[in-house]
A and B are shown apart, each in its own frame.
Chain A
Amino acid sequence: MSSENTAVLIKGENLRKEFQSRVGGKRQVTRAVDGVSIEVYRGETLGLVGESGCGKSTLGRLLLRLSEPDSGTITYDGTDITNVNMHDYRKEMQIVFQDPAGSLDPKMKVGDIVAEGLELHKIGSSRAQRRQMAQEQLLQVGLGPECMDRHPGSFSGGQQQRIAIARALALSPRFLVCDEPVSSLDVSYQAQIMNLLSDLQKKLGLTYLFISHDLNVVRRLSDRIAVMYLGRVVEQGPADQVCTSPRHPYTQALLAAVPVPDPDVKPADMELADISASVPENGCAFLPRCPYAKDACASVKPQLKEVAEGHFCACHLFAEQ
C-alpha cells in the first residue's frame, strides 16, 4: 500500500476517543471511536455509514481535530497534525453539519457568516472585497446577492444548507467532512444538495468524507464506503462491492433495511436483535446481534482482513479464506 501513500490526503491511525458520563452516580465510559484507522484518497468520496451512536460523527470531528483524540495520529497531506496548532490547517479542511438551521449563527447576516473565515484568515484586502468573495461563494451554491443581508432564519432548510456549504468552501478547502448533510432535509432538497455537492466536487477537486446513516444516500455519492459499528470499522471497500456483495453480517443487515420504492417487493428478511448492553469485552462487538455467531466471536476481536481487492472486512466468518 506504500506506493499509494501520495494519493492519501488525510489519514487517521488507531484513533481512539472515549466519553465519560455519569448515570445515577455510576461512571460510564463510551468508546465512541475504538481504534479506527482510515485513509481518504485525494479527490474521492469516502462514505461512512453506521447507525446513530456508532461514532461516525466523532470520527469526522477527530480528523478535523474539532475534538482531540485520546490516542492515535492524524496525518494530513504527509504531515502529522495530531499535535500542531490547527489555525493554518483550518482553511484546508471544513465541515458541513446535519442541522443547517443550528449550524448558522441566528444573530449574524448571511454575508458575514460566509465571510467570517476570510476575515479570520486575512484573505482579501478589505471588507468590501471579502463581501464580494462571499457573494461569489453564495452564487456558486445557487444563492443570489440579495441573500447577503438577510438572517439565516428566513431561509428554508435546503437554502440554509447551501449557505453552510458556501461558508465551508469560502476558504477553498481541499477536504470537506459532510456530517449527514441531507438527513434533516426534505427528499426534494436532499437530491438538490447531493447534486450540488457532487458538482462542486468535480469543479473544485474536493475530497469528501461523507457521513450518513442512510446507505442509499452514501451509495450515490461515494467511491468507497466504510461501515462502522460501535466505534470500529467493520467493513470497508469500493462502494459497488460493499453494496452488491456485502461481507459483514452488519452490512448485510443495513442493506436489507434499505426500503425499496416498490410496493410489490417484499422486504428482505434479515432482522437483528435489539442492541444489548452485554457487548463482549474481548470478542466481536456485533456478537449479541449476529445471526452467524460462532465460538471464536466471543473471545477474539476480529481484525480487518482483505476479502477481495481493496475490500476489507472484520469478521471471523472470513478467517479461513
Chain B
Amino acid sequence: MRSSGSATKKEASARLRFFKNPVSVAALIVFAVILFCCVFAPVVSRYGYAEMRVSERFLKPCSDHIFGCDYAGRDTFARVLYGGRNTLKIAAVATVLAALGGMTLGIISGICGGTTDMLIMRAMEILSAVPSLLLVILAECLMGWGKGNFMYAMALSALPSVVRLIRASVSQVMSKSYIEASRALGVKGLRLVFKHILPNILPSVFVHLTGTFAEQILLCSIMGYVGVGINPPQAEWGLIIFEGYASLRTAPHAVLLPAAVIAVCVLSVNLIGNGLRDAVDGGDRSDG
C-alpha cells in the first residue's frame, strides 16, 4: 500500500541513490574535471590552441607537453582543452535547443492527439530518416557555413527522439486520473501543462537528455572529423583526430590521447545518465 512512497522522500532518496552509487559519483567527478579544464583552458594550459613551434613537431608526451605536440608543433593538450570548449558547447547548445523544440512539439502532440499528432509524428519520422551528416551538410549549404547553423542542424537531428519520448511521457501522464480531476476543477491550457504535466515528465526527460548530450558530443566530433564542423585552425575534438590521423604510424599519441579523452568524456556522461535513470526509477523497483 505504501509502495508508492512519499514523493518528497522519493525525490530526496533519488538524489541520495545517485550519490550512493560509486559509479555515478566517479563519472560525475570525471566529467566535472574535464568540463572544468575545458572551461578554464587558458588557465589550465600554458599554450594557446594555435601556437606553433616547428622545432616541437610530433613531440612525444613529456613534462612540458603532457599530450605531446601535433604535426604543426602545437600542444595537443591545449588543443584538446580548447577543442573541448567548442565540442561541449556545441553539444550542450544543440541538446538544449532539441529539448526546447522537443518539449513544445511533444507536448502539443501528446495533448492534442488526432491530426496534429499525426502530422508532427510523420514530420519527425521524415526528419529521422535523413542521416545526421546529410542534415548538417544540407543545413550548411542552404543557410551558410557557420557555428550557429551547425548547432541548429545538430539540434534538428536530435529532435525526433526527444519529441517521441516527450509525446510518450505526456500521453502516459494524460491518462492518469489526476489530470481528469484537475480538468473537473476547471484546469486547462497552459496551467495544465506547467502545473501538472511538466513536473511529472521532467525526471524521465532529463535522463533521456543526458543520453542525447553524449550522442551530440560524438556527433559533433564525427562532423569535425569529416570536415563539416568547426573550421581549422580552431580546435575541435573530431578535427584534432583528423589532423593527427595522417601521422598515426609515426606519432600515434597525437590521435590516441585526444581520442581517449573523447571516449572517457562520452562514457562519463552516459554513466551519469545511467545513474540518474536508476535513481529516478529505483523508487518503484527496490524500495517496496
- Residues of chain A whose beta carbon lies under 8 Å from any beta carbon of chain B: 61, 64, 66, 86-87, 90-91, 93-95, 97-99, 101-108, 116-117, 120-121, 150-154, 156-157, 164, 167-168, 171, 186
Decide if B196 touches A117 in the complex (CB within 8 Å): no
Interface presence of B129 (CB below 8 A): no
| A107 and B186 contact, Cβ closer than 8 Å, known pairs A150-B6, A153-B4, A157-B1 | no
Q: What residue of chain B has the Cβ atom nearest to residue A102's Cβ?
A: B177
Decide if B181 touches A86 in the complex (CB within 8 Å): no
A153 to B8: give the CA distance in the assembly, Å. Answer: 8
Q: What residue of chain A has the Cβ atom nearest to residue B200's Cβ?
A: A107
Decide if B180 touches A66 in the complex (CB within 8 Å): yes
| A102 and B185 contact, Cβ closer than 8 Å, known pairs A150-B6, A156-B2, A157-B1 | no
A182 to B9: give the CA distance in the assembly, Å. Answer: 27
| A99 and B177 contact, Cβ closer than 8 Å, known pairs A153-B10, A157-B1 | yes
Interface presence of B222 (CB below 8 A): no
Decide if B7 touches A94 in the complex (CB within 8 Å): no
A101 to B4: give the CA distance in the assembly, Å. Answer: 8
A99 to B8: give the CA distance in the assembly, Å. Answer: 21
Interface presence of B36 (CB below 8 A): no
Q: What residue of chain B has the Cβ atom nearest to residue A117's Cβ?
A: B185
Interface presence of B184 (CB below 8 A): yes
A86's partner among B7, B182, B186, B196 (CB-CB below 8 A) is: B186
Interface presence of B187 (CB below 8 A): yes
Q: What residue of chain B has the Cβ atom nearest to residue A106's Cβ?
A: B7
Decide if A167 touches B177 in the complex (CB within 8 Å): no
B186's partner among A101, A121, A168 (CB-CB below 8 A) is: A121
Is chain B's interface secondary structure helix, strand, loop, or mixed overall?
Answer: helix
Least CB distance from A194 to B in Å reads: 19
Decide if A117 touches B176 in the complex (CB within 8 Å): no
Q: What residue of chain B has the Cβ atom nearest to residue A99's Cβ?
A: B177
Q: What residue of chain A has the Cβ atom nearest to residue B202's Cβ?
A: A107
| A87 and B186 contact, Cβ closer than 8 Å, known pairs A97-B180, A103-B181 | yes
Question: Which residues of chain A have C-beta atoms less than 8 A from B186's C-beta?
Answer: 86-87, 90-91, 117, 120-121
Decide if A97 touches B181 in the complex (CB within 8 Å): yes
Question: Which residues of chain A have C-beta atoms less than 8 A from B199's C-beta?
Answer: 105, 107-108
Question: Which residues of chain A have C-beta atoms less than 8 A from B183's C-beta?
Answer: 66
| A164 and B7 contact, Cβ closer than 8 Å, known pairs A105-B196, A107-B200 | no
Interface presence of B148 (CB below 8 A): no
Q: What residue of chain B has the Cβ atom nearest to residue A64's Cβ?
A: B184
Decide if A153 touches B5 in the complex (CB within 8 Å): yes
Question: Which residues of chain A have C-beta atoms less than 8 A from B206's C-beta?
Answer: none
Decide if A151 touches B1 in the complex (CB within 8 Å): no
Q: What residue of chain A has the Cβ atom nearest to residue B203's Cβ?
A: A107
| A94 and B184 contact, Cβ closer than 8 Å, known pairs A105-B196, A106-B200, A154-B9 | yes
B172-202 residues at the A interface, CB under 8 angstroms: 176-178, 180-187, 191, 195-196, 199-200
Decide if B177 touches A97 in the complex (CB within 8 Å): yes
A64 to B2: give the CA distance in the assembly, Å. Answer: 31
A90 to B187: give the CA distance in the assembly, Å. Answer: 10
Central interface residue in A105, A121, A150, by most chain B CB within 10 Å: A105
Least CB distance from A130 to B in Å reads: 13
Question: Which residues of chain A have C-beta atoms less than 8 A from B195's C-beta?
Answer: 105, 108, 116
A102 to B200: give the CA distance in the assembly, Å. Answer: 12
Question: Which residues of chain B have C-beta atoms less than 8 A from A152's C-beta?
Answer: 7
| A95 and B181 contact, Cβ closer than 8 Å, known pairs A107-B200, A117-B186, A152-B7 | yes
